[in-house]
Amino acid sequence: MVTLRITATLLALACFAGGCAATGDRSPLTRKAAGLGQAGWLYARSVYENPINRPVSHVASLGSLTVKSTGGALRRVSLNAFEMPALDGPVPAVSRKAPMDTAAFEALLDRTTGTRLDSGRIRFLVDGQEYFARLMEAIEQAHETIDIRTYIFDNDDFAVAMADELRERAKDVRVRVMIDSLGNVLATQADPESLPDGHDHPLSMKRYLERQSDVNVRQVTNPWLTSDHTKTTIIDRKIAFVGGMNIGREYRYDWHDMMMEVTGPVVDRLQFESEKAWSRSGPLGDFANVWRFVQGKQEHADRGGYPLRVLQTRNFNSQIHRAQIAAIQNARSHIYIQNPYFSDDRTLYELARARRRGVDVRVIIPARGNHGPLNASNKVTINTLLEHGIRVYEYPGMSHIKAAVYDGWMCVGSANFDKLSLKVNKELNLATSDPATVDALLSKVFVPDILISREITRPVPVSGATYWAEIMVDELM
């Protein structure tokens, strides 16, 4: 009875928020009420709707979360109590060995991840100016379809301008936008520091996008607080944009980040994954997802390209984690990683082992993060990396890039090096051992970023509260 009363109250607040959504309101109280109402509606959908129309994914999310959390906790105890301390001793010099055999490694990934190579081409788009200029060009030139799958579609001035463009294009082409509910509720309650004064925030981006337009929006439910952290935009089933950027002012103006423009047959695979997610997020849920799966992948994209691999984090299937652990274990020459949230103990352990094999291991972490507990966890991570001879660089400002190069193999996408990305949420990365593409990532991202970053050579101060925050991040994030 109490639960029903709480739900009814929250739903009433959701209706109030919807009534204000058409014009927007920058009143803090109104925005908080709208956020509470949207949270209530999300709670009702996740608790009451999800088990009915998404019974398989609902149970699978709980089962996967339980198994991975329990197994992960036990492994962390083993790593911290026994395996990591066993690595004590002098750190050897970098060995300068020849890189691993990437052809043999790709064959290993076929077995360890259960994935197969597609083909296509990648162009790196670094930072908001380059990416959003190209994205807007592609949106303006779309002839048939625009499919956006994102964790956050913010309500700041830049996101509103993007929404207005999509509303205009929906007059001529099919526009679909899929947003993670939990991520968006949290994001739309916080403003970037650079936000201009006087901006009126739409209280619901779903309603704003759909109001007097043909844009179709679906908000992904969050069973057991799991999220869809994938970011893909696909134009006319031929061009895909994949990476770590959401739609908001931070990604356009404030943060260092990257997306990939992708063409070739792999786009058909990305479109298929997007279609299944869209079907699952609709009113028929798992039933529509099964029907879309039975229909299979369709071919629309251009042919040609070099080998590319799609890697995901899904229920009971942490492909991204397994692939990158395998890459660390097989690397012989160098490992370069840039990631804003770095808390996975298994990854840290394998990196320490690699460094003690003589591998040149370097990690770039932002100097100014955007998440308190994860910022604290990064401090513990920095000291662990330094203890084992790994070079750590502090990027000036906030870097949201999630990229890694292991000898001649790269892995780039939406996944952080934390529990949520590697084991819980839905994520999507692209990987390849194409030499020209790996070299392009090194020359466009890693080399310039290392040059402008400050190398950390001494342990950073860590308080008792920071250690507690790191434990919390390990267990929850």
Q: Is the pLDDT of residue 22 over 80?
A: no
Location of structure tokens 């330094």 = 386
Beta partners for residue 120, in sequence order: 306
Q: Is the pLDDT of residue 9 over 80?
A: no
Location of structure tokens 């929906």 = 170
The mean predicted confidence, pLDDT, of the chain is 90
DSSP string, 217-258: EEEE--GGG--B---EEEETTTEEEEES--BSHIIIIISB-E
Which of the residue ranges 12-26, 354-368, 433-447, 454-468 would you say has the lowest mean pLDDT?
12-26
Q: Is the pLDDT of residue 246 over 60?
A: yes
Angstrom distance (rounded) from CA 349 to CA 166 = 45
Q: How confident is the model at residue 338 (pLDDT cuts 50, 70, 90)?
A: very high
Calculate what percentage of the chain has a pLDDT beyond 90: 75
Report yes or no: 96 and 232 within 8 Å, Cβ to Cβ.
Answer: no
pLDDT of residue 3: 38
Pairing, β 360-366 against β 391-395: parallel
Angstrom distance (rounded) from CA 446 to CA 441 = 7
Residue range 141-166, pLDDT digits in tens? 999 999 999 999 999 999 999 999 99
Closest CA to 429 of 288, 230, 234: 230
Q: Where are the alpha helices (DSSP H) in 21-91?
A: 28-44, 50-53, 55-78
pLDDT of residue 468: 66
Helices vs. strands in the chain: H and E counts, helices first: 19, 16
Task: Determine the 3-state secondary structure of 180 from DSSP.
Answer: strand
Residue range 260-279, pLDDT digits in tens? 999 999 999 999 999 999 99
Closest CA to 76 of 287, 291, 445, 345: 345
291 or 21, higher pLDDT: 291
| Measured CA distances, 376 to 34, 190, 333, 382 (Å) | 30, 20, 30, 10
- At position 385, the amino acid (one-letter code) is L
Q: What are the two backbone dihedrals, phi and then psi, of residue 68, each rounded to the nearest 5 degrees? A: -70, -35
| Measured CA distances, 391 to 99, 271, 438 (Å) | 19, 39, 21
pLDDT of residue 469: 61
Angstrom distance (rounded) from CA 160 to CA 248 = 9
Beta partners for residue 399, in sequence order: 256
| Angle made by CA atoms 316, 419, 64, in degrees to the nearest 5 | 25
Angstrom distance (rounded) from CA 147 to CA 271 = 8
Is residue 224 classed exposed, middle or buried when 0-12, 13-18 and 19+ CB atoms within 10 A define those classes?
middle
Counting other chains too, the contacts that 156-162 makes at CB distance below 8 Å and 24 or more residues apart are: 156/191, 156/192, 156/195, 156/199, 156/201, 156/248, 156/249, 157/195, 157/196, 157/199, 157/249, 158/247, 158/248, 158/249, 158/252, 158/253, 159/205, 159/247, 159/248, 159/249, 160/199, 160/202, 160/208, 162/247
Q: What are the two backbone dihedrals, phi and then psi, of residue 445, each rounded to the nearest 5 degrees? A: -120, -60
How far is Cα of residue 457 from the mean position of the Cα atoms in its chain?
Answer: 29
Residue 394, H or E segment? strand 391-395
Is residue 425 classed exposed, middle or buried when 0-12, 13-18 and 19+ CB atoms within 10 A define those classes?
buried
pTM: 0.92
Residue range 50-100, pLDDT digits in tens? 999 999 999 999 999 898 888 888 888 898 888 989 998 899 999 989 999
- At position 87, the amino acid (one-letter code) is L
